[in-house]
Amino acid sequence: MSEIESLKGQLDSLQTAALVAFAQAEDLSALQQLRVHYLGKKGALTEVLKGVGKLPPAERPVIGQYVNQTKAALTQALELSEAELAVKGKALRIEAERLDITLSGRKQAVGALHPVQQGLDEITAIFAQMGFAVAEGPEIEDEFHNFDALNIPPEHPARAMHDTFFLKDLHSDSGEPMLLRTHTSPVQIRTMKRFLAEHGEPPLAVVAPGRVYRCDYDVTHSPMFHQVEVFKVDRDVSMAHLKGVLQHFLSTYFEKEVGIRLRPHYFPFTEPSAEVDISCVFCAAKGCRICKGSGWIEVLGSGMIHPNVLRSVGIDGDEFSGFAFGLGVERLVMLKKGIPDLRLFFENDVRFLRRMGVSK
Ligand SMILES: [Zn+2]
């Protein structure tokens, strides 16, 4: 074979290989590499051209024309592949960025008030509508406000019944250990003192919601729970006022006319004292498991404020009288919503909270 035929053969096979490679290129960067490999300054075509110098001068123009044809064919094929890959790349990008607007959106979970907080708000609002002013007090108390001022002196057995959490490292100004309040009744003392300092004498009517603490835990007891303290002091306040306020409150809260019954009881801070029952809201007082067949359910403790309590804040018990009662918020919410176990309130099981209709 002559030298020129050999060169033409090399150019033919180079062109065939290049066209196949261009057609199979996956993307534009692969194609760019092929361009360098075949048409670059140190590429395959340049390599073949080195053989041209060995040809006799008369044959060089012939092979020159052949080389130009090969180069043109490669360039044209490259541009074609480039155009195809550009279109394909755009299509891929569009596909990757495609949004399915028929997919439904992600639902935002909206938080809501806990059933106990709902109950607190509801109960407080009923008293606020009756004209009671809302007051709050500290959860860390001293023995004076939590016990002494409420007619529970140091040796009184009621202190033991309160299962108090004492804060051994915290002391009051008089050196006694501080404690977590066991009831909202100390707010009575603090509010009466503040009110007298500002206004000189009663009347005052107050509702005081808040957290209280006792060292106790079972189906009906939690170490932290909520109470609402309600009291009114004025001239000529009687048990009849107490009963009227209770009747209105309990019927409003349970959204039905409930019967109420006052049973004589003992509390150190009221005299006389009464436990308050309502006609069973589950069986219409016919008798069921929850009211243990009696038709009545105990809901709170109440009474006329003990003269010693009035005296501890400087109110003349001969001139003024008052009623007070304290109710457990969890207990009332359990009765209203039919919740069997107090602990459900504090376990934060979302299934329970959803059922209470307070979480979406
Ligand atoms: Zn019943």
Distance 283 CA to ligand 1 centre (A): 4
CB 77 within 8 Å of CB 18: yes
CA dist 176 and 283 (Å) reads: 49
Q: What is the average pLDDT value for the chain, to the nearest integer?
A: 90
Distance 291 CA to ligand 1 centre (A): 4
Q: Hey, what are 293's tokens? A: 């067949």
Question: What secondary structure does DSSP assign to 267-294, as a single string?
Answer: ETTEEEEEEEEEE-TTTTTS--TTTTTS
pLDDT, tens only, 22-54 = 989 888 889 999 999 998 888 888 888 887 888
Q: pTM, whole model, 2 decimals?
A: 0.69
pLDDT, tens only, 213-272 = 998 887 778 899 999 999 999 999 999 999 999 999 999 999 999 999 999 999 999 999
Q: Hey, what are 179's tokens? A: 């404690």
Q: Hey, what are 217's tokens? A: 């835990």
Distance 257 CA to ligand 1 centre (A): 15
Q: Which of 2, 17, 1, 10 is nearest to 50 (CA)?
A: 10
Q: Choose which CATH entry (3.30.1330.90, 3.30.930.10, 3.40.50.720, 3.40.50.1980) describes domain 115-355.
A: 3.30.930.10
Distance 249 CA to ligand 1 centre (A): 20
- pLDDT value at 111 more than 80: no
Give me the mean pLDDT over the 153-181 stretch. Answer: 85
- For 280, other C-beta atoms within 10 Å of its C-beta total 22
Q: Which of 310, 327, 300, 272 is nearest to 151 (CA)?
A: 310
Distance 342 CA to ligand 1 centre (A): 19
Distance 297 CA to ligand 1 centre (A): 8
pLDDT, tens only, 115-166 = 999 999 999 999 999 999 999 999 999 999 999 999 998 888 778 777 899 9
Quote the pLDDT of residue 350. 85
Distance 210 CA to ligand 1 centre (A): 29
Distance 339 CA to ligand 1 centre (A): 14
Q: Hey, what are 292's tokens? A: 């243990």
> What's the sign of the alpha-carbon dihedral 207, 208, 214, 218?
positive
Distance 294 CA to ligand 1 centre (A): 7
pLDDT band at 358 (very low <50, low <70, confident <90, very high): low
Distance 299 CA to ligand 1 centre (A): 13
Q: Which amino acid is at 115?
A: P
Domains of the chain, residue spans:
3-96, 115-355
CB 330 within 8 Å of CB 294: no
